Chain A
């Protein structure tokens, strides 16, 4: 049924591949991930290829995205954090372009699947943990022991801090996934109202104006959310990287 609001998240195998009993099929999700990476890369490459001293309109878009992420990272993690700029910028562009691609009708939204966003979040947290241990050794574990806690409370506080740390990849991935999923379902449901109401003759068509207006408004909101979620994802990545660079003293 074309009116099914969940149908847009259906994964279909485009090229079935099976290696050793595991499913490695190239799906529509994979296709859009490739499209996202290629789209973002091509945009940045083509717009900056002229290297104008006075940037053209598109070149300044690329430069703005660079400045935006660079400032965000410098504010959150200091100049030492700039070595992570490639990671943060790639994540930001991937999530942003994937979210924006999802706004095209009939396009698949990569970030509306929990496993994709969770993989991205694990990449971030994995980097934080590995870099933290590599840079500070076991001093990284000081992250879990705040200052000035009475000795008796330390085990409890450490336990709470560990749970708080473990909840980061969950909140990072669930936030992005849930916002994209809910937004797209809402859009589809309201758009579905328009067609179902129009079936009731003249009165229905008149009434269908309301959900139509709502759909238009929601589309605008979804564009905002698409950008905001990419921004929040990048900001939190910067904050977590800051923990790896300077664990609490």
Chain B
């Protein structure tokens, strides 16, 4: 995403500022670098990549997703803990520890599907591509 914005901005503002003082140009360059860095850090809302006609559907889709994402995390964590306890005889510590880890994983799932946590760096570049077209 940052890659596709960069060249455009350079072309536009670079030509406009060439007549001005060199310090302003430097400031401009730094501001662009900062913008690119912020854009790279910020997760792309998943809605962005979609075609606008499916926007409403996306909203309801998210609503349906969030609770099950959370529950699945907790269930899987508890399941792993129970499994470990059963075979390693560490009852009840496996269940306790993995239930908490599952809780954390559930929260992570929810934040991720709500688009509040950057998922994988590569995805943003990819998701940004079609939007720009």
Report which A residues bind B (CB closer than 8 A): 68, 71-72, 74-78, 143, 146-147, 159-161, 163-164, 166-168, 170-171, 174-175, 178-179, 224, 228-229, 231-232, 235-236, 242-243, 246-249
Instruction: Report the nearest B residue to A78, measured CB to CB.
Output: B126
User: Could you tell me which residues of chain B, from 45 to 79, have a CB within 8 Å of some CB in chain A?
Assistant: 49-51, 54, 57, 60-61, 64-65, 68-69, 71-73, 75-77
Instruction: Report the nearest B residue to A235, measured CB to CB.
Output: B61
Instruction: Report the nearest B residue to A232, measured CB to CB.
Output: B61
Answer yes or no: B95 CB below 8 A from chain A CBs. Answer: no
Chain B residues positioned under 8 Å from A249 (CB to CB): 120-122
* B68 adjacent to A78 (CB under 8 Å): no
* A232 adjacent to B73 (CB under 8 Å): no
Q: Contact check: which of A160, A178, A179 meets B105 at CB < 8 Å?
A: A160
Number of A-B contacts (CB under 8 A): 98
* A229 adjacent to B64 (CB under 8 Å): yes
A147-B121, A246-B126, A248-B121 given; A163·B64 CB < 8 A: no
Chain B residues positioned under 8 Å from A228 (CB to CB): 57, 60-61, 64
Chain B residues positioned under 8 Å from A247 (CB to CB): 120
Interface range on chain B (Cβ under 8 Å from partner): 35 or more
Chain A residues positioned under 8 Å from B65 (CB to CB): 171, 175, 232, 236
* B127 adjacent to A170 (CB under 8 Å): no
Report which B residues bind A (CB closer than 8 A): 49-51, 54, 57, 60-61, 64-65, 68-69, 71-73, 75-77, 80, 98, 101-102, 104-106, 108-109, 112, 120-123, 126-127, 129-130
Classify the interface of chain B: helix, strand, loop or mixed. helix
Which of B64, B108, B112 has the most C-beta atoms of chain A within 10 angstroms of its own C-beta? Answer: B64
Chain A residues positioned under 8 Å from B64 (CB to CB): 175, 179, 228-229, 232
* B104 adjacent to A160 (CB under 8 Å): yes
Instruction: Report the nearest B residue to A170, measured CB to CB.
Output: B72
Assembled-state Cα–Cα distance A247/B123 (Å): 9
* B73 adjacent to A76 (CB under 8 Å): no
Which of A167, A242, A248 has the most C-beta atoms of chain B within 10 angstroms of its own C-beta? Answer: A167
A171-B109, A228-B57 given; A163·B101 CB < 8 A: yes
